Every structure is written in structure tokens, then in C-alpha cells.
Amino acid sequence: MSQKKLLRALAGETLDTPPIWMMRQAGRYLPEYRATREKAGDFLSLCYNSDLAAEVTLQPIRRYGFDAAILFADILLVPQALGADLWFVTGEGPRLSTVTAQSDFDALKPAADIHETLNPIYETVRILSRELPSETALIGFAGAPWTVATYMIAGRGTPDQAPAHALMAQNRTLFEALLERITEATIEYLSAQVDAGAECVKLFDSWAGSLGGDDFDRYATAPAARIIAELKRRHPGLPVIAFPREAGDKYIGFAKATGADCVALDNSVSPEWAAANVQCDGCVQGNLSPTHMVTGGQALIDETRHIVEAFSKGPHIFNLGHGITPDADPENVQLMIDTVRSK
């Protein structure tokens, strides 16, 4: 059994103190990150500069001693590796060339051809596997197919994923072909991360909550199950965290349906509900509201203790319900960690 706390929790062990890491823990709330990003020139240059990407991944580990580091990259590197144009607009976020017609899809590369573009990401993983403290687990990650597809279809983030839903309704054959290509590429990408040294991986389905009923089962659950099954076939024993954000009642049974070792929870569900309905199937991760990293104070302490206590009878990884925001106070992160570890 690994002595790394995160891997012990993923293996189903209930620990006296849960391991801690934080989504987007390498990010703009840290002055050292902002300095490194400025050195890189822009966000994509930072992602593809293996030395600098490893540096920003290590920064929160040095500052806080988190139990895990997560590879610094972006979920939209896979569309770029498939041949989509990708750029970032300052203050507005990512932009991509769109896939809305068969000709757009036909221009994409096969999934097996993504590695040339993504080799710098694998080198980042190799650097981290050498540089991280021996007690710190290394998490690789990718976006889930539905979430990545929403960006590829709309060309940007949207509040309700309407363009993707429209393509699904108007040309389901094309929509499903795109989802299939992304699924294949995601398997290739995550497998290469594991080959480079990632000890577990996380699948982010940030927009899963906009899928309902059968569509959730078909386009969130089924692709995750396929990705996880193939990764575990290639890498026996690999732990996988799945995050179908805002899934609500669809969190129930998601671990069993997909083969995920851990289900990450957003903060729209209560820890008591999740302990009764989700943790019963294995490890859960979450789920402090990111707003507490901005406001801090006694409310942060109280809610952190509440979550730790609610999940104390089963395997649990402490985390936020979504990524930390750029306006967070680094001191509040330390307060959260101290509160979890003071039990």
C-alpha cells in the first residue's frame, strides 16, 4: 500500500485526517504564479513550456504542502492537438475554431496523432515525477468528452452550452462522431500522462449538469466508463477521479456506473446527502465552496469542519467544490489547510 495519503484514500482507506489538494491550486491567486506566467508571456506558452509549467505546479506544494499536485495544463489542449485553432483572449477566456459541420470534423486529426503537439505536457509530468516531495501524489487530468465538445462546438465557453445541445438535436450523427473522437483522444492523452509518471488521473466534466436524463447517461456516464475501463486495462490499478459537476441526483451510482475510484462533488450538494448517497460506493472528494477562499473567517473554519466531520466515516479527499478563483486570499487557503489538519 502506498504511503501517499491521497492514494490511500483512493484505494478506499478511511483516514483520520483526509488528504487535501485544491482545484486550480496553481493559479492567479498566487503572486508567484503571476510572476511565472508573465515570464512565459501568455497562458498557452506557459502550458507548453515544460520547465515553467512544472514550476507553477510545484509552487502551491512548496507554499502549502498539499497532499497532491495536479499537472498544470488546460482541457482545451486536446482540441488543439486534434487540429482546432486555440487562442486566449485576455479577460475573456479561450476561443477555438468551431466544429459545426461535417467538413469541420473531417479536418480533425486522428486521436493517435495528438502526441506530437502534447509531448511538452508529458515532459512536464516527467519533471514533476522527479521533483515532487516523496509524500506528494501526482495527478494527471483531462476534460471529459461532453465538456470538451461544448467548447469545440461553440468556440468558447457558454452559460448554458446551447450550441452543443443544438448540434445534438440537429445532427446527432456529427455530434456523436465528435464525442467519439474526443473520447479516443482523451484515452491516448491520459495514458501518456500515466506513462510519464502521473499516479492517478482526474476527468473533469465541468458542464455535466446541463445534461439531463438519458443524455446524461449517454454523454457523461458512458464516455467516462469507456475512458476509465481502457485506462485501467492499459494501467492496472490506476486510480481515477471523476467530476460530473452539478450532476445532482446523477451523482448517485456514478462510481459504480463508470468504474471511477472517487467521485468529486461540487458544493451544490450537502456533505450529509453525499455521505449517504455517494460515499457509500467509495471515496468522495470535496466540497467546500470556493467563495470561502475569498471571504475567510469563522465561516470558512466552520464549514471546513462540517465537511470533514460529515465525510469522516469513509474515504474522503478534502477539496473545493470547484476551482479556486483569482480573487482568493492565499491566507484563507492556509486557514483551510490548518483547520482540516488540526483534527
Q: Which of 37, 181, 226, 245 is catalytic?
A: 37
Q: Which of 29, 33, 48, 151 is catalytic?
A: 151
Asked whether 221 and 158 are in contact (CB, 8 A), the reply is: no
What does pLDDT average to over the chain? 97
Distance CA 288, CA 118 (A): 32
| 3-state secondary structure at position 88 | strand
Distance CA 275, CA 281 (A): 9
Mean pLDDT to the nearest integer, 32-38: 97
| 3-state secondary structure at position 305 | helix
Active site residue 218: no
pTM for the model:
0.98
Q: What angle do CA 110, 115, 120 make, to 5 degrees?
A: 150
Of 220, 218, 215, the residue nearest 148 (C-alpha) = 220
Residue 281 to residues 183, 249, 268, Cα–Cα distance (Å): 25, 14, 19
On the question of pLDDT at 91 being above 90, the answer is no
Active site residue 24: yes
Q: pLDDT by residue (tens digit) across 180-211?
A: 999 999 999 999 999 999 999 999 999 999 99
Distance CA 245, CA 170 (A): 25
Q: Which of 24, 181, 226, 245 is catalytic?
A: 24
pLDDT of residue 148: 98
Cα within 13 Å of Cα(259), Cβ side: 17
Q: Enter the DSSP assignment of 20.
A: B
Contacting residues for 14 by C-beta, under 8 A, at least 6 apart: 312, 313, 314, 315, 316
Distance CA 176, CA 8 (A): 37
Return the percent helix, strand and coil in the chain, to nearest 5: 55, 15, 35
Confidence of residue 90 (pLDDT cuts 50, 70, 90): confident
Distance CA 248, CA 175 (A): 24
On the question of pLDDT at 297 being above 70, the answer is yes
Active site residue 233: no
Angle between helices 172-196 and 115-131 (to 10 degrees): 40
Q: pLDDT by residue (tens digit) across 200-256?
A: 999 999 999 999 999 999 999 999 999 999 999 999 999 999 999 999 999 999 999
Q: pLDDT by residue (tens digit) across 131-184?
A: 999 999 999 999 999 999 999 999 999 999 999 999 999 999 999 999 999 999
Q: Which of 28, 126, 305, 341 is catalytic?
A: 28
Q: pLDDT by residue (tens digit) across 41-72?
A: 999 999 999 999 999 999 999 999 999 999 99
Distance CA 143, CA 223 (A): 11
Active site residue 42: no
Active site residue 151: yes
Domains, the chain: 5-341 (3.20.20.210)
pLDDT of residue 343: 67
Q: Which of 64, 67, 74, 219 is catalytic?
A: 74
Burial of 44 (0-12, 13-18, 19+ CB in 10 A): middle
On the question of pLDDT at 1 being above 70, the answer is no
Of 67, 69, 71, 72, the residue nearest 20 (C-alpha) = 67
Mean pLDDT to the nearest integer, 261-265: 98
On the question of pLDDT at 16 being above 80, the answer is yes
